[in-house]
């Protein structure tokens, strides 16, 4: 467990970010926000896996006006993601957004930013200054500064402007698709400002690529105590973003969750255990108990190699051996494995 840098505390809907509050896992919907039904469905699913904050893209008036309908049907705060058009931010605020994300690279008018800030101030809504190394202002892109300093300079200017309106409910992100740029930018920002930091590597690729690269970035920063909220950005199913984010926080002892121990299978395995692993894995992400569950491919090595597990099964061709802390309990049929494990997990 690493001690976290103390940042300013900000309220986002029903959660509090920063200071010593838990590191919040967030994701972003992949649906069109104006499609209220599918957006609500996806948010509820994300919630069930442990997503605590969700960002939705606001492309037009319909998206912004849908926020009020979506909000009534979900339980986690909504962050309205705004690019280019400050009027959409105002409309999103009017329609119940819990936080506004702006990119200072594409809303550059001081007057427009002022209007967003004043509207947020009136409703006590925080603003995320979401800087992205690939979408800085033209002037900044043409400067002689390196990539990290361009982001930091953009951040300094944005914070100076927003603070000039006596507004301090700010959250910061400094994303890049380059891992080391990201790390350096966040480290620098953490020494300069005490606002909560939303960590993430952006455009990080599909599941495998993003999991490895995001873990590399987030681990380095979390070990330094940096980070109040995280997103693992994946080209794919946003549920995987939550799963990977949870694993990262779990390894840093920042959350409690179940642990699944499963073998990679080998020539000794005489049945398809992957289908059992998938069902149990999915279930474990939806509960918070610190239980260790094992699914092993053979009885020869399974119970011994997974003796750390609170409950486990090791398969042979016809049956599966149920064991607890490495000790055999009973043999069960393959078709009983899922129900037996779920019962044991629920009774733990």
Two tokens, residue 28: 């972003």
Which one of 191, 266, 335, 347 is in contact with ligand SF4 (CB under 6 A)?
A: 266
Q: Exposed/middle/buried for 279, CB within 10 Å: 0-12, 13-18, 19+?
A: middle
Among the listed residues 18, 302, 303, 312, the single contact to ligand SF4 using CB under 6 A: 302
| Structure-token pair, residue 296 | 């092993």
Q: List residues bridging with 261 in a β-sheet.
A: 294
CB burial string 46-73: b at 16+ within 10 A, e below: bbebbbbbbbbbbbeeebbbbbeebbee
Residue nearest to ligand SF4 (CB): 297
Q: Which of 82, 263, 322, 345 binds ligand SF4 (CB under 6 A)?
A: 263
Q: In this complex, which beta carbon is closest to ligand SF4, that of residue 22 or of residue 305?
A: 305
Angle formed at CA 248 by CA 178 and CA 238, multiple of 5 degrees: 75
- Using rule CB under 6 A, residue 303 touches ligand SF4: no
The residue range among 172-180, 214-222, 262-270, 338-346 that interacts with ligand SF4, by the rule CB under 6 A, is 262-270
Q: To the nearest whole angstrom, how small is the minimum distance from the Cβ of residue 325 to ligand SF4?
A: 17
Window of 10-18, 62-70, 241-249, 292-300 that interacts with ligand SF4 by CB under 6 A: 292-300
Instruction: Identify which of residues 21 and 319 has a Cβ nearer to ligand SF4 in the complex.
Output: 319
Measured between alpha carbons, how far is 125 from 117 in angstroms, rounded to an integer?
9
Q: What angle do CA 96, 102, 103 make, to 5 degrees?
A: 165
Query: x/- string (CB under 6 A) for ligand SF4, residues 209-248?
Result: ----------------------------------------
CA–CA gap between residue 47 and residue 136 (Å, rounded): 32
Among residues 51, 107, 151, 269, the one that binds ligand SF4 under rule CB under 6 A: 269
Q: List the structure tokens of 96.
A: 């119940």
Enumerate binding residues for ligand SF4 (CB under 6 A).
Answer: 263-266, 268-269, 296-298, 300-302, 305
């Amino acid at each position: 467990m690493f001690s976290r840098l103390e940042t300013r505390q900000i309220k986002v809907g029903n959660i509090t970010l920063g200071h010593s509050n838990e590191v919040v896992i967030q994701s972003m919907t992949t649906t069109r926000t104006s499609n209220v039904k599918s957006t609500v469905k996806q948010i509820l699913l994300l919630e069930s896996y442990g997503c605590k904050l969700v960002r939705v893209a606001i492309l037009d008036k319909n998206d912004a006006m849908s926020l009020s309908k979506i909000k009534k049907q979900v339980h986690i705060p909504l962050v309205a993601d705004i690019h280019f058009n400050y009027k959409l931010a105002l409309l999103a605020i009017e329609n119940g957004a819990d936080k506004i994300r702006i990119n200072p690279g594409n809303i550059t008018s001081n007057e427009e930013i002022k209007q967003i800030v004043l509207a947020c101030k009136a409703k006590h809504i925080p603003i995320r200054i979401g800087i992205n190394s690939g979408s800085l202002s033209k002037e900044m892109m043409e400067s002689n500064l390196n990539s990290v300093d361009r982001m930091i300079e953009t951040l300094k200017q944005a914070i100076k402007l927003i603070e000039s309106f006596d507004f301090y409910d700010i959250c910061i992100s400094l994303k890049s698709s380059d891992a080391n740029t990201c790390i350096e930018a966040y480290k620098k920002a953490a020494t300069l400002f005490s606002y909560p930091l939303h960590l993430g590597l952006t455009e990080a690729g599909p599941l495998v690529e993003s999991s490895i690269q995001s873990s590399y970035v987030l681990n380095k920063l979390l070990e330094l105590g940096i980070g109040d909220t995280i997103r693992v950005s994946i080209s794919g199913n946003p549920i995987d973003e939550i799963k990977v984010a949870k694993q990262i926080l779990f390894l840093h002892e920042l959350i409690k969750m179940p642990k699944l121990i499963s073998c990679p299978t080998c020539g000794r395995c005489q049945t398809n255990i992957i289908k059992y692993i998938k069902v149990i894995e999915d279930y474990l992400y939806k509960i918070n108990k610190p239980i260790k569950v094992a699914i092993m491919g053979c009885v020869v090595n399974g119970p011994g190699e997974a003796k750390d597990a609170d409950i486990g099964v090791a398969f042979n061709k016809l049956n599966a051996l149920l064991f607890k802390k490495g000790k055999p309990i009973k043999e069960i049929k393959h078709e009983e494995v899922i129900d037996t494990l779920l019962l044991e997990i629920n009774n733990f």
